[in-house]
Amino acid sequence: MSNLEMPVRYIKGVGPGREKILNSMGIFTVFDLLNYFPRDYEDRSKVTPIINIVSGHKVLAAVKYTGRYKVLRPRNGLSITKLYVTDDTGYATLAYFNQDYIIKNFIAGNYYLIYGDAELSFGEIQIKNPDVEPIRKDINHYLCIYPVYSLTKNITQKVMRGIIKEAFLYLDEIYEMLPQELLSKFKLIDVKTAYKNIHYPDSMENLERAKRRLAFQELFEVMLYLNILKLKRETIKKGILFSPCDEDEFVKLLPFKLTNAQIKAWSDIKQDMESERPMNRLLQGDVGSGKTVVAAMAVYKAVKNNYQAAFMVPTEILAEQHYSTLTRLLAGQGIKVGLLISSLSAKEKNNILDKIAKGEIDVVVGTHALIQDNVIYKNLGLVITDEQHRFGVRQRSMLEQKGDNIDVLVMTATPIPRSLALIIYGDLDISIIDELPPGRKPVRTYLVDKGMREQVFNFIETHLKNGEQCYVVAPLIEESDKLDAASAEKIYKELSGKFTGFNVGILHGKMSKEEKDYMMRQFKENKIHVLVSTTVIEVGVDVPNATVIVIENSERFGLAQLHQLRGRIGRGDKESYCFLILGNNNSEVKDRLKILTQTNDGFKIAEHDLKLRGPGDFLGFKQHGMPAFKVASTYLDNDILEDVFKAVRYFIETYGLDTLTATKMVRIIEDKWGFNEEDIALN
């Protein structure tokens, strides 16, 4: 066992009690301790003379205690102890609240280094509850940038700093993951210097260098691992070599012209399908960007090569929609489309299953029913999954196993910034449709104070009388004593009474699958005019007649989620309107949501959302099996990612996949991140 694997109890200053505290913070070994990075820093590298202290700023000052003090008791239970200090330029007071004992820590005539918040109070500079250090050595000994750690009770910053400094004894044992040529090529400091400077930087510039180096390494390790898995898969498995066919003839029969983004995405997919390696491609595009048409072209190519295709979606109503769309797009090509969903009768199911097994159905659209044991494909060559994050990891794998090294196309309408997509889907090739078809009218979006709700619902009534439909989204299903937010049930009752002459429906997560599908079908068929819902409509069906969406307590939703909800309207040729009703309309909330009123571009919104929230929980980041980055979270910019990708390519080209160096690297990465090769590959 290396010293880095030693339990923290062997570090000087850590006894049994502190070991329990550190364990509760997720720190068990010396390595854990060194990787417990500061959440912030205090720049105590420069002393400010009292005369230059600015109110409202943190300050470091070297002062002499005059021996004078006051204890004030302005009201019951509160005491303020004021100590008078001086330097060559003036006088100041140190103010401590409810700490009468603090006087014992000061000796008249002695010098102290103080650090705290300064303010001007009744004409004098006052420093509140400052940290104090007696000056016993040359003052330069004390000047540095101090780390600030996230702590739990019974442990102080001073104790934590001391323990981590003791762990520096073992810095030399930290393994240097990056070859020297990469350090030189990308101007990175070595790993030991990076660890030292992320805890105790000797300048803000060196802190940035340390952060960049460790962020680079985190991204490098994850991307290298995913790329090695991907290349191994491609090396081991030979896919289906689809022959060229007359896709251009198919495109000519479409009742619309493809966008440049669709043409580019299809070019990527076509190239994959005509290569010997199995296609593993993510097709990412905003709501309404035309992903299904591109998927239909892939289906066409597979069928013309005498293979079947399977198209799996998360809900029955969505399966019916895709079935209808594919039937319309492929009808003139002699391609037979089937629908396999749980609600079919036993006779209908058996008929479909028989036709799939005999190859009489070319493409089957369905839910998880497609992966049941009794579904046998004659010659499956292509699997497409839509909104794949709605499936379990192994559900998609089970569908893929219905064929032999089949091509896989994963689709999502959830906009993810390219930087994040390259990490989440690092083992997939990525195509992005970032262009909407011409003629699509952008949804007009407005931020509305809750005092304007009545006017919004009057606006809805006007559109209902014109034969249009509306969604109203609430953050809660039922009323809550703990949360001040609108509930779907309360709004349903309110609107049922308001919109007399119109049918109001309700949809939420506690309803059975059958109830949800029935309600959505009623809405799609315009038998329900106002649908009150929770976020279960986020991935939903096309209802071109729905032109208004109202989202109550919109501040409770993420930007990307609001954009997805907004995507439920604007599906037809009518003007559409989104009202974001604010339960809390402070300036910070308005600033966050304003981006939605400025653009309908999901990728721009996602980039903005990523900057605000970081990638930790961005769109279920952790659900993809990806790690929680410690440093890289704030470094997901294109510059560093571009360098990381270059470094990964260089490493693989230099060391290969099966060398001892690459094998050792993979094992170290698996141990460090807790990766499971099978699960990552399935994702």
Give residue-wise pLDDT tens across range 492-525. 999 999 999 899 999 887 888 788 888 888 998 9
pLDDT at 581 over 90: yes
Same domain flag for 592 and 501: yes
Same domain flag for 359 and 253: yes
Question: In Å, how far are 316, 356, 502, 572 from 374, measured between CA atoms?
Answer: 19, 11, 44, 39
Same domain flag for 387 and 471: no
Same domain flag for 348 and 257: yes
Mean pLDDT to the nearest integer, 453-458: 94
User: 162: which 2 tokens?
Assistant: 């001391």
- Determine the pLDDT at residue 115: 94
**pLDDT tens digits along 164-211:** 999 999 999 998 989 899 999 999 999 999 999 999 998 999 999 999
Same domain flag for 587 and 448: yes
Q: Look over the chain and give the mean of its residue pLDDT values, rounded to a whole number.
A: 86
d(CA 145, CA 143): 7
Least confident of 299-303, 362-366, 490-494, 563-567: 563-567
Same domain flag for 564 and 664: no
Under 8 Å CB-to-CB from 154, ≥6 apart: which residues?
17, 21
Using the 3D structure, point to which of 92, 121, 142 is the last residue of a domain.
142
Backbone φ, ψ for residue 116 (5° rounding): 180, -175
Q: Exposed e or buried b for every residue in 18-56, given b needs 16+ CB within 10 A?
A: bbebbeebebbbbbbbbbbbbeebbbbbebbebeebeee
- CATH code for the domain of 476: 3.40.50.300
Using the 3D structure, point to which of 535, 568, 599 is the last residue of a domain.
599
Same domain flag for 524 and 580: yes
pLDDT at 593 over 80: yes
User: 161: which 2 tokens?
Assistant: 């700093």
Query: 619: pLDDT confidence band, cut at 50, 70 and 90?
Result: very low
Under 8 Å CB-to-CB from 348, ≥6 apart: which residues?
none
What's the total number of domains in the chain?
4
DSSP 8-state assignment for residue 29: B
pLDDT at 355 over 80: yes
Q: Are 562 and 580 in contact, with CB atoms under 8 Å apart? A: yes
d(CA 362, CA 352): 11
Residue 20 lies in a domain: no
Helix, strand, coil abundance in the chain, percent, nearest 5: 45, 20, 35
Say what the pTM is: 0.67
Residue 351 lies in a domain: yes
Closest to 668 (Cα-Cα) out of 275, 277, 293, 191: 191
* Angle 183-189-191 from CA coordinates, rounded to 5°: 95
Mean pLDDT to the nearest integer, 549-557: 91
Residue 350 lies in a domain: yes
Same domain flag for 226 and 314: no
Question: In Å, how far are 36, 607, 633, 638 from 613, measured between CA atoms?
Answer: 21, 10, 10, 17
Collapsing DSSP to helix, strand or coil, 237 comes out as coil
pLDDT at 86 over 90: yes
Collapsing DSSP to helix, strand or coil, 71 comes out as strand
pLDDT at 634 over 70: no
Using the 3D structure, point to which of 542, 564, 599 is the last residue of a domain.
599
Same domain flag for 389 and 503: no
Same domain flag for 454 and 385: no
Query: 540: pLDDT confidence band, cut at 50, 70 and 90?
Result: low
Domain range enclosing 87: 46-142
* Angle 433-434-438 from CA coordinates, rounded to 5°: 95
Residue 219 lies in a domain: yes
Residue 624 lies in a domain: no
Residue 164 lies in a domain: no
Q: Map tokens 């399966």 to a residue.
A: 319
